[in-house]
Amino acid sequence: MALTSLLVCADAEAVQVLTRVLEDLGIEVESCSGLETARVRIGEEAFSAVIVDCVEESAAEGFIAEVRKTSRNQSTVVVVMVEGRDAVSDIFAKGANFALYKPISRERAEHSIRAARSLIRQERRIQPRIPVQSRASIAYPGKEDAAATLVDLNDRGLGVRAEDRLPPSCKVYFQFSLPENSSVVRLAGEVMWQDAAGRVGIRFAQIPQGSRKVLQSWVQANSATESSADPVTAASPADDLRMGLTAGLGLLTVSAADRRKLERQTCRLGAEVFRAASRAPIRCTLSDISEAGCYVEASESLPVGSALEIVVRTDEAKFCLAGTVQSAHPGFGMGVRFNLRNEEQKKQVQQLILCARAEAKAGE
């Protein structure tokens, strides 16, 4: 089923920008300039997203409340266009999920609409998640062994409450035990969305075979007991609305440290890692790279502080990069900081980043 949107806005320039962004992201657009026409349409059609300009705040809040009362659109993702942050909490309380700050730019719109699209797809999840309360230890760029709480899961992904906001679209490494099961589950996943209340949606990226068996067995055993639960998602639409999901805003307000992380180039480059004073290679894959370091995916990880050499061969060149392990995730890989001693080594890293970008474009 195609994704559809209702754009309620009288600003021709903003409509043009948003229409281009929505269509580029595969979302069909129906636009209207006034709330009266929009009220009729939300009663007639079900939309994947409703985007409304809050130029008249009270009228817009009333419209959002009406959207939530309709049988067709009560779970629709609502994006609001606002002048500033002061009124955002009130609008979220009325049922908005995301906010776009004016003036509307393509970059801002694309960040927020991408986040909204991820939520739309998450809400259309075919396989239900099972509610669960279990403590977990997580690690991600800049953080090791952070505490978190699992709130739901299936064998493809999970929901978690984290104490701190995670960097957008980062890889997260989990370690936890499930209720009535003493086996430790270790896995890696990717952040798909997160909200202002600290809830994060994770899609699994890597699961070692042992952990996969434990997870699948637990899900199968507990699925039957959840047959009477909501078949789409463990949390009700009203719960998500009250939380005021703001993943799109997070991309606009990250700290300087997180902005550095966002500059990493994702990639899938085959490589070999050599320990200091050893010529026995560890076969691995670089999953992201920046001028400061990279992440190495490998079944074997080295202790934090270990010196190593990474060798990457492309069709055109061979790159040899020295580094130090900054974080280790057994069964998944390790974060490495480059030790660049001269300009020639810096140029090698820059060339490798260009190779990664070319690979990414070729795969689009």
3-123 carries CATH number 3.40.50.2300: yes
Q: What are φ and ψ of residue 204, in 5° steps? A: -65, 140
Average pLDDT over residues 329-340: 82
> Contacts by 120-123 with C-beta closer than 8 Å and gap 24+?
120/3, 120/48, 120/49, 120/77, 122/192, 122/193, 122/201, 122/233, 123/75, 123/77, 123/232, 123/233, 123/237, 123/240
Strand-pairing partners, residue 27, are: 3
pLDDT at 359 over 80: no
Q: CB within 8 A of 64, min separation 6: which ones?
A: 52, 78, 80, 91, 94, 95, 96
pLDDT band per the 50, 70, 90 thresholds, residue 187 = confident
What confidence tens digit (pLDDT) does each residue in 147-176 have? 899 988 888 888 888 888 888 767 889 889
The per-residue pLDDT of the chain, averaged, comes to 78
Q: What is the pLDDT of residue 238?
A: 33
**Same CATH fold, 263-362 and 130-255?**
yes
Average pLDDT over residues 25-32: 90
Superfamily of domain 263-362: predicted glycosyltransferase like domains (2.40.10.220)
Q: Domain 130-255: which topology?
A: Thrombin, subunit H (2.40.10)
Overall size of the chain counted in residues: 364
Q: Where are the domains of the chain?
A: 3-123, 130-255, 263-362
> Contacts by 36-44 with C-beta closer than 8 Å and gap 24+?
38/6, 38/8, 38/63, 39/63, 39/66, 41/6, 42/6, 42/66, 42/67, 42/70, 42/72, 42/73, 43/70, 43/72, 44/72
What confidence tens digit (pLDDT) does each residue in 109-135 have? 887 788 777 767 655 544 567 888 888
Q: What is the pLDDT of residue 101?
A: 84
pLDDT band per the 50, 70, 90 thresholds, residue 232 = very low
Structure tokens at 16: 């043009």
pLDDT band per the 50, 70, 90 thresholds, residue 86 = low
